Amino acid sequence: MSERSGGHVAYRAVLLAAALIVFGLLFQQLLTLLLATLITVIIAIAISAIADRLELLDIPRPIGALLALLAGLAIVAGLLWLLVPPFIDQTNEFADDVPGIVDDLRDQVHDLTGAEPGEISEQVDSFVDNYTDDPGKLIGPITSISLSVVGALAALILMLITAYYMAIRPEPLVDGLRRLAPPRHRAQADRIMRRLRGAWVGWMQGVAFDMLISGVLLYIGLTLIGLEFAIFFAVLTAAFSVIPYFGAFASGIPPVLFALTDSPGKALLVIVIYVAVQQIEGNLTIPLVMSRTVKLHPAVIAGGVVIVGQLFGFVGLIVAVPILSMATILVEELWVQRLEESDRAGPSPPDDRSVQLGQGDDDRGGDAHDDHDLHPDPEARHGGRS
């Protein structure tokens, strides 16, 4: 019998190990699918919110959702039409000036570190020769990037189409999610979905406001100090502002290095401008726009962005705040609130009847115990009958 039980244990262990291996192999694909689903749901929520308002104006929901989708695409296309031409021009000028910028940076590094310009030039030339001697090193990444862009565009089109149909008829999806919860918890499930919807809509509004404010302020500030390619750096920072805190830091490095080629004083002015814009974001955008809807502490956002980036990669950083808000809401609803409710309820009061019955049982038990002590012999209690 023990051999059979041991065989069953070994069989289950092998199945568990195989299941873990399969899950590990599919883990990244599952995360990518979950991330694409989350982005699709967020887009559908935005379209649905606009369709709800248009429905109040007696506009049919399919037409309202289509108008919302087309309006969003038109806004993006308009911004690209306004910003891309000067952005491309300044990018080309920036690329043409790269050799001179490298020479200026080399001189600055020589002044700061004392390294000979010849040594710096040799290191730069050897780095460039690695790619010119073996073009595959450069062409390979470019090819993979182009293929990734094509795949991303195809996935984006599919997500937009799916989000449109989700926004037209969200009721079956919402009802399906409700039915996954037990009947006594469906009111809580409705509350969780409302909170998620409000948090994600607020995040989208905050991101749009943040991108507009940071881009405009940086363009004005960099133009006032006379830094070239101001619109290039402003658009770059506005695009990276979707990543909380770290996006502003990463997008601030190129303009600082570029200003350093002019003078350390101008580089310091660029740092001051970026810090000032970051302070405006931290004291205006996050508290007044995001914190009222997303309700996440800045420290939670900063730490959570690192974790989400490790799990989902760069694309995950774009929706890091929705992921963190979803995790926070689920923990509050499914864990924290239950603990608080049970703590407020306190221990259940004892039943008086059970106490009385217990006392009676104790009394009777005590009498029986005393009687048993007085008559240890069972036959003595029955008058000595056999």
Flag whether 222 is in a domain: yes
Asked whether 192 and 329 are in contact (CB, 8 A), the reply is yes
What is the tally of structural domains in the chain? 2
- Give the global pTM: 0.65
Q: If DSSP codes are grouped into helix, strand and coil, which group holds residue 229?
A: coil
Give the C-alpha separation, 76 to 150, whole Å: 19
Asked whether 91 and 232 are in contact (CB, 8 A), the reply is yes
Q: If DSSP codes are grouped into helix, strand and coil, which group holds residue 231?
A: helix
Flag whether 179 is in a domain: no
- How many whole angstroms from its chain centre is CA 343? 32
Chosen domain end from 324, 341, 358: 341
**pLDDT number for residue 221:** 92
pLDDT digits (tens, 9 = 90+) for 193-231: 999 988 888 888 888 888 888 889 999 999 999 888 788
Among 258, 237, 233, smallest CA distance to 246 is for 237
Low-confidence ranges of the chain (pLDDT < 70): 1-11, 24, 27-28, 82-84, 86-149, 282, 284-295, 345-386
**Cβ of 283: how many Cβ atoms within 10 Å?**
10
Is residue 233 domain-shared with residue 309, that is, in the same domain?
yes
**pLDDT number for residue 289:** 55
Is residue 76 domain-shared with residue 196, that is, in the same domain?
no
Give the C-alpha separation, 257 to 240, whole Å: 18
Is residue 154 domain-shared with residue 45, that is, in the same domain?
yes
Is residue 156 domain-shared with residue 252, that is, in the same domain?
no
Asked whether 299 and 328 are in contact (CB, 8 A), the reply is no
**pLDDT number for residue 115:** 53
Flag whether 378 is in a domain: no
**pLDDT number for residue 146:** 46
Is residue 158 domain-shared with residue 307, that is, in the same domain?
no
**Boundaries of domain holding 220:** 184-341
Report DSSP letters for 68-98, one per residue: HHHHHHHHHHHHHHHHHHHHHHHHHHHHHTH
Is residue 203 domain-shared with residue 261, that is, in the same domain?
yes
Give the C-alpha separation, 164 to 44, whole Å: 6
Is residue 147 domain-shared with residue 192, that is, in the same domain?
no
Which two structure tokens, joined as six digits, stand for 142?
């470019």
pLDDT digits (tens, 9 = 90+) for 167-197: 999 999 989 988 988 998 899 999 999 999 8
